[in-house]
């Protein structure tokens, strides 16, 4: 990288001083902002001072690239355009979530800014696809948040804007003390940036605001920005929305009735006052009302309850998306192994399909009918091999990134470049998609005919018509006119020419459209014909086969020229001045002749003249293409839906063991209903889909049985004990993964050999896993553990799934166990939800005795082979079976990682001592303390106790009725009379009884 870096140059010292003076006069910036200077309109870029250090350390990996100005006051690093656009922007925005500002080197005016939630300005200015750099293929969504506290009620308003898709979403809801609904909302939409009122501060005395910042920190990878508090008002919002929002029913040049549009979406301005205020703040923050901004947004209400809630712990625990740090510090190296659900299921052939899959994984459905529709379509795609192969290998491979092409076309209208005809290539790609649509529609109709022949009442037919055939047909009918436009205005000969014909590579406006174009086109065709003839002549002269040996190419730098491989370049020797070598590269040797150079220049001049003449015509074609934008975007959604479901079918088929379709039980309103009793998890040979595809892993499958019905197998609360590394965490997480897969409509990694797999629909999957702290926020490991658990208790309902992998381990043993026990009891008695609890607190297993119908103990099996000469040999079986494991084998894990033998032996000795010792003497809450009596004194004391208790029984017990003659207080009084009277001397002289009485 460093060898190709440009130099920072100035015309004179005055120019240099002016440069640094203007830079130092820029307003101060926050630490989360990085600035670059654009020199000579993208010629090269510089970063100065602390920004230069950041780039040197993380991009170039050395401080040697840093240089100093003449007075050593400023340090800088120069960056080439390629490194800046491909590496630096990815590192700053995608990996480090910084705000990027780019200034002009002459005027020091701000030319472009970008944050993870607002990429449009920079992407349009520099033509870089920043969205495509997100690992999870998500959209750059920005959210405005404002909450209002009235007594114990907290009303939260959220506005979400996706500039790339031109959508505005509003949501207003009540939330708990821990902002659990805010957390779910931000995760469901993959929000990249949050804008808050300026009076919200992480160092505020307001504990409610601090809790909001804690939630944002917990989610991670969210940039927090602020705007003036006064902007969070809905005073003039309707007037602004009138300029931005479009409606499906709106006629051309008709003003939008904002109230009507909002009412049609179920948005009442009085009930959504906070979210509309957030919308006003975001409009100002994103400058959506500026002259060059697009004003075609759609507005919707976002319903939080339509999707399963996922907390940040669950997103990480279930490995739903790749870890942002898994591919190195700057994310430039891609790993071939599958490490997440997204990578496993992303068999999509289109960019839009990958984006939709990302959205579905964050928004699992809670509607049974919606899930079953997806399952029906996936099932059909698995069975109909011909259609699946056609869609995967033929049709979808022709579908471009429509959204990105439309943005490029929009930018092409606004900007003038030298090669105007290059802009037509994007239009042609859309045209090629339209050409492929008739075959796709014919295939869909054939599929429907086949289904009707097999089963006239097939529900799949209506689904195919609803989701694929009807919307695609509607789009195609509108795009037929677009096809005619392209065929009548653009010269399509490059599409018709063979792959070996290099003479027709550029798309141009058909010359018939303008008389002046006809004459220039004749010059072009004449030059091309002569170039082709010259190619043949040179081939004959050098005795080389055309196209295979002697290639004619249009080079970016040299224009039309010939190319031969470096081996074949020997033919150019001893030819005198007939051939001129231009360049030698890995691909071969470029050379030309005087005549070809002249013809190439003639062609270049004619092309430039043609381009200047057709500039306005091209702009008109691009503008007309954009009138079909809504049609193309609707088509994108349809094809993305097909792409994702086809990917599900392919993933199910190519899995090591094929995925199968589960039966789902709906959400219930009442824990006393039959529907609630019918909710169960019943899985045979369940597997973790990501682990089973790893190299060198032979996955051990396990059955899963949880049920609300006391008469069936399984109970709702499962406690899992067993050795470290025995598979407890994998077992509980795979159940979460399988549940999520089922609710996005995917088949699941289980067996259906003996019975159909069953799962309930969950309204939330909530997790407490792992350990970590946040020292910058002043939060300890245990505090974070308690915050996560508190959020679970506040969010969970009887329809939720809770996954707990260790609880109460960040504090003292007794405190931790007490918390684990009480939290478990609360979940069992109050929440009544399915819970998986992996623990090393073996005492927790006693809950199964207290709640026989609700708690089941499972353990992971470890085979212990006794050896008298050596220590016990432990083999982890990775099988989960009923019962309790009495050991955790933690020291065995220490042996596996090669702890020193001295430490291992000491650990075993100490563990043995502690297991032999019942309790410590210092604990005043434990009553069975060690006695100081001898064995003889203990035996004598026990005999005396027996005789006292027998005498007491004879006084109080009525053998005829089998009951006590007295009330409890009177019975205790009788015992006291015996102790103080008849047996007082015996007790006074008995050491054991005296010791017992001091404890009581």
The 3 state secondary structure assigned to 508-553 is: EECHHHCHHHHHHHHHHHHHHHHHHHHHHHHHHHHCCCECCCEEEE
Indicate whether 382 pLDDT > 90: yes
Residue 27, Cβ neighbours under 10 Å: how many? Answer: 4
Q: Of the spans 109-123, 200-214, 493-507, 654-668, which averages the highest pLDDT?
A: 654-668
Architecture of domain 511-624: Orthogonal Bundle (1.10)
Residue 398: name the closest of 366, 432, 370, 347 by CA.
432
Q: What pLDDT does 919 receive?
A: 41
Residue 774 burial by Cβ neighbours in a 10 Å radius (0-12, 13-18, 19+):
middle
Q: Which of 207, 145, 200, 213 is nearest to 173 (CA)?
A: 145
* Pick among 3.40.50.720, 3.30.1200.10, 3.40.50.300, 1.10.3130.10: CATH of 671-886: 3.40.50.300
Q: What pLDDT score was predicted for residue 733?
A: 95
Q: With cut-offs at 50, 70 and 90, classify the pLDDT of residue 69.
A: confident
Termini Cα distance of the chain: 79
141-306 is classed CATH 3.20.20.80: no
Mean pLDDT value across residues 482-499: 81
Residue 47's pLDDT band, with cuts at 50, 70 and 90, is very high
Beta-bridge mates of residue 112: 102
* pLDDT tens figures, 421-433: 788 889 999 999 9
Say which residues have a Cβ less than 8 Å from residue 900's Cβ, sequence separation at least 6: none
Residue 584, CA atoms < 13 Å, CB-side half-sphere: 8
Mean pLDDT across the stretch 975-993? 84
Let me know if the fold of 2-114 is the same as that of 511-624.
no
The most confident of 44-48, 569-573, 914-918, 938-942, by mean pLDDT: 44-48
**Tokens describing residue 561:** 């020229």
Is the pLDDT higher at 374 or at 920?
374
Q: Which of 434-438, 519-523, 653-657 has the lowest mean pLDDT?
A: 519-523
In tens, the pLDDT along 132-177 reads 788 788 889 999 999 988 777 889 999 999 988 889 999 999 998 8
Q: pLDDT for 833-845, tens place per residue?
A: 999 999 988 889 9
Give one word for 920, left, alpha or beta, with left for phi > 0 and alpha for psi -120 to 50. Answer: beta
Of the segments 66-75, 105-114, 730-739, which one has the largest average pLDDT value?
A: 730-739
Fold held by 361-497+627-654: MutS, DNA mismatch repair protein; Chain A, domain 3 (1.10.1420)
Query: Are 384 and 447 within 8 A, CB to CB?
Result: yes
Residue 249 pLDDT: 60
Please say if the pLDDT value at position 32 is more than 90: no
Is the pLDDT at 880 greater than 60? The verdict is: yes
Q: For residue 537, what are the contacts with CB-CB under 8 A and spacing of at least 6?
A: none
pLDDT tens-digit profile of 263-322?
888 888 888 999 999 999 999 998 888 766 666 888 999 998 889 999 889 999 999 998
**Cβ-Cβ contacts under 8 Å for 299 (sequence gap 6 or more):** 167, 168, 169, 170, 241, 245, 261, 262, 265, 267
Superfamily of domain 2-114: DNA repair protein MutS, domain I (3.40.1170.10)
Q: What's the pLDDT score for residue 423?
A: 83
347 pLDDT more than 90: yes
Residue 229 pLDDT exceeds 60? yes
Higher pLDDT, 187 or 574: 187
Band of pLDDT at residue 602, cut at 50, 70 and 90 = very high
Please provide the average confidence, as pLDDT, over all residues in the chain.
Answer: 86
774-790, pLDDT tens digit by residue? 444 556 778 888 888 88
The percentage of residues in the chain with a pLDDT greater than 90, rounded to a whole number, is: 47
Q: Is the pLDDT of residue 5 over 70?
A: yes
Which tokens in the block code for residue 939? 């035996």
> What pLDDT does residue 918 have?
43
Give the separation between CA 742 and CA 660, rounded to whole angstroms: 10
Q: How many residues does the chain have?
A: 1000
Answer yes or no: is pLDDT of 202 > 50.
yes
Query: What b/e string do you get for 612-642 counting C-beta neighbours within 10 Å, with b at 16 or more?
Result: ebbbebbbebbeebeebbbbbbebbebbbbb
Q: Which of 688, 716, 984, 993 is nearest to 828 (CA)?
A: 716
Structure tokens at 834: 């399915």
490's enclosing H/E stretch is strand 490-491
Res 998: pLDDT: 67
Residue pLDDT, tens place only, 710-757: 888 899 999 999 888 888 999 999 999 999 999 999 999 999 999 999
Q: What is the pLDDT of residue 341?
A: 95
681 phi and psi, to 5 degrees? -110, 115
Phi, psi for 18 (deg, rounded to 5): -60, -40
| pLDDT of 395 over the 80 cut | yes
The answer to whether 358 and 640 are in contact (CB under 8 A) is no
Domain boundaries, given as residue ranges, for the chain: 2-114, 141-306, 361-497+627-654, 511-624, 671-886, 890-917, 935-999
8 A C-beta contact, residue 101 and residue 110: yes
Q: Structure tokens of 171?
A: 């949501």
* Residue 818 pLDDT greater than 80, yes or no: yes
pLDDT of residue 921: 42
Q: What is the CA radius of gyration of the chain?
A: 37
pLDDT surpasses 90 at 232: yes
Q: Is residue 350 classed as helix, strand or coil in its secondary structure? A: coil
What is the reported pLDDT for 472? 96
């Amino acid at each position: 990288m460093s060898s190709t870096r440009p130099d920072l140059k100035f015309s004179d010292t005055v120019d240099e001083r002016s440069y640094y003076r203007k830079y130092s006069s820029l307003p101060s910036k926050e630490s989360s902002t990085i600035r670059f200077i654009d020199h000579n309109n993208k010629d090269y870029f510089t970063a100065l001072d602390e920004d230069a250090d950041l780039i040197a350390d993380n991009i170039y990996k050395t401080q040697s690239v840093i240089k100093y100005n003449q007075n050593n006051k400023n340090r800088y690093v120069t960056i080439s355009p390629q490194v800046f656009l491909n590496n630096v922007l990815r590192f700053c925005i995608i990996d480090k979530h910084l705000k990027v500002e780019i200034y002009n080197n002459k005027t020091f005016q701000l030319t472009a800014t970008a944050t993870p939630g607002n990429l449009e300005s920079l992407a349009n200015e520099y033509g870089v696809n920043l969205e495509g750099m997100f690992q999870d293929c998500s959209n750059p969504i920005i959210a405005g948040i404002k909450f209002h506290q009235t007594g114990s009620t907290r009303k939260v308003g959220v506005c979400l804007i996706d500039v790339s898709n031109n959508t505005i979403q509003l949501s207003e809801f009540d939330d708990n003390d821990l902002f659990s609904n805010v957390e779910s909302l931000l995760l469901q939409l993959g929000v990249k940036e949050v804008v808050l009122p300026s009076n919200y501060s992480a160092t505020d005395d307001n504990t409610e605001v601090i809790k909001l910042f804690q939630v944002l920190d917990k989610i991670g990878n969210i940039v927090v920005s602020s705007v003036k508090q006064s902007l969070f008002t809905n005073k003039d919002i309707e007037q602004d929305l009138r300029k931005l929002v479009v409606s499906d029913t709106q006629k051309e040049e008709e003003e939008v009735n904002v109230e009507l549009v909002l009412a049609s979406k179920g948005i009442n301005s009085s009930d959504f006052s906070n979210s509309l205020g957030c919308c006003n703040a975001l409009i100002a923050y994103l400058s959506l009302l500026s002259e060059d901004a697009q004003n075609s947004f759609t507005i919707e209400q976002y319903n939080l309850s339509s999707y399963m809630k996922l907390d940040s712990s669950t997103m990480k625990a279930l490995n739903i998306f790749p870890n942002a740090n898994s591919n190195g510090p700057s994310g430039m190296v891609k790993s071939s192994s599958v490490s997440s659900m997204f990578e496993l299921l992303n068999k999509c052939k289109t960019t839009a399909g990958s984006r939709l899959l990302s959205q579905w994984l964050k928004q699992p459905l809670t509607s049974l009918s919606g899930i079953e529709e997806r399952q029906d379509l996936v099932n059909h795609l698995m069975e109909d091999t011909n259609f699946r192969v056609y869609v995967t290998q033929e049709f979808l491979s022709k579908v471009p990134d429509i959204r990105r092409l439309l943005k490029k076309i929009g930018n092409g209208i606004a900007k003038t470049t030298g090669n105007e005809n290059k802009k037509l290539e994007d239009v042609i790609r859309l045209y090629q998609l339209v050409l492929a649509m008739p075959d796709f529609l014919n295939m869909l109709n054939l599929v429907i005919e086949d289904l009707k022949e097999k089963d006239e009442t097939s529900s799949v037919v209506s689904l195919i018509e609803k989701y694929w055939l009807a919307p695609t047909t509607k789009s195609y009918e509108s795009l037929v006119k677009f096809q005619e436009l392209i065929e009548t205005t653009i010269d399509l000969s490059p599409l018709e020419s063979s792959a070996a014909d290099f003479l027709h590579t550029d798309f141009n406006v058909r010359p018939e459209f303008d008389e002046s174009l006809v004459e220039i086109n004749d010059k072009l065709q004449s030059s091309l014909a002569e170039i082709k003839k010259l190619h043949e002549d040179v081939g004959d002269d050098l005795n080389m086969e055309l196209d295979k040996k002697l290639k004619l190419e249009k080079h970016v730098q040299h224009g039309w020229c010939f190319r031969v491989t470096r081996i074949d370049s020997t033919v150019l020797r001893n030819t005198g001045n007939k051939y001129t070598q231009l360049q030698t590269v890995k691909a071969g040797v470029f050379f030309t002749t005087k005549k070809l150079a002249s013809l190439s220049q003639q062609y270049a001049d004619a092309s430039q003249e043609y381009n200047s003449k057709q500039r306005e015509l091209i702009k008109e074609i691009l503008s007309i293409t954009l009138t079909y934008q809504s049609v193309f975007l609707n088509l994108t959604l349809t094809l993305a839906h097909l792409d994702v479901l086809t990917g599900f079918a392919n993933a199910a088929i190519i899995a090591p063991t094929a995925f199968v379709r589960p039966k789902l039980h709906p959400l219930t309103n009442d824990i006393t209903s039959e529907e609630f009793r019918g909710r169960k998890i019943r899985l045979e040979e369940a597997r973790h889909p990501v682990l089973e595809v790893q190299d060198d892993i032979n996955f051990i499958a396990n059955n899963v049985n949880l049920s609300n019905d006391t008469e069936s197998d399984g109970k709702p609360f499962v406690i899992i004990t067993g050795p470290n590394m025995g598979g407890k965490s994998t077992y509980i997480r795979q159940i979460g993964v399988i549940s999520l897969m089922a609710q996005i409509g995917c088949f699941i990694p289980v067996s259906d050999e003996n019975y159909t797999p069953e799962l309930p629909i969950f309204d939330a999957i909530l997790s407490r896993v792992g350990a970590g702290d946040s020292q910058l926020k002043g939060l300890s490991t245990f505090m974070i553990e308690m915050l996560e658990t508190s959020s679970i208790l506040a969010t969970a309902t009887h329809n939720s799934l809770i996954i707990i992998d260790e609880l109460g381990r960040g504090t003292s043993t007794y405190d931790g166990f007490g918390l684990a026990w009480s939290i478990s009891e609360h979940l069992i008695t109050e929440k009544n939800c399915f819970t998986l609890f992996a623990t090393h607190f073996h005492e927790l297993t006693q809950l199964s005795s207290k709640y026989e119908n609700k708690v089941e103990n499972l353990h992971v099996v470890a085979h212990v082979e006794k050896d008298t000469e050596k220590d016990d040999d432990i083999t982890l079986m990775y099988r989960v079976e009923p019962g309790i494991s009495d050991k955790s084998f933690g020291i065995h894990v220490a042996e596996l990682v090669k702890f020193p033998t001295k430490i291992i032996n000491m650990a075993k000795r100490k563990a043995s001592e502690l297991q032999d010792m019942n309790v410590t003497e210092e604990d005043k809450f434990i009553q069975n303390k060690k006695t100081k009596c001898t064995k003889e004194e203990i035996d004598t004391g026990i005999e005396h106790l027996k005789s006292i208790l027998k005498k007491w029984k004879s006084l109080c017990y009525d053998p005829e009725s089998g009951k006590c003659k007295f009330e409890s207080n009177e019975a205790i009084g009788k015992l006291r009379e015996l102790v103080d009277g008849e047996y007082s001397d015996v007790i006074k002289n008995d050491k054991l009884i005296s010791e017992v009485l001091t404890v009581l």
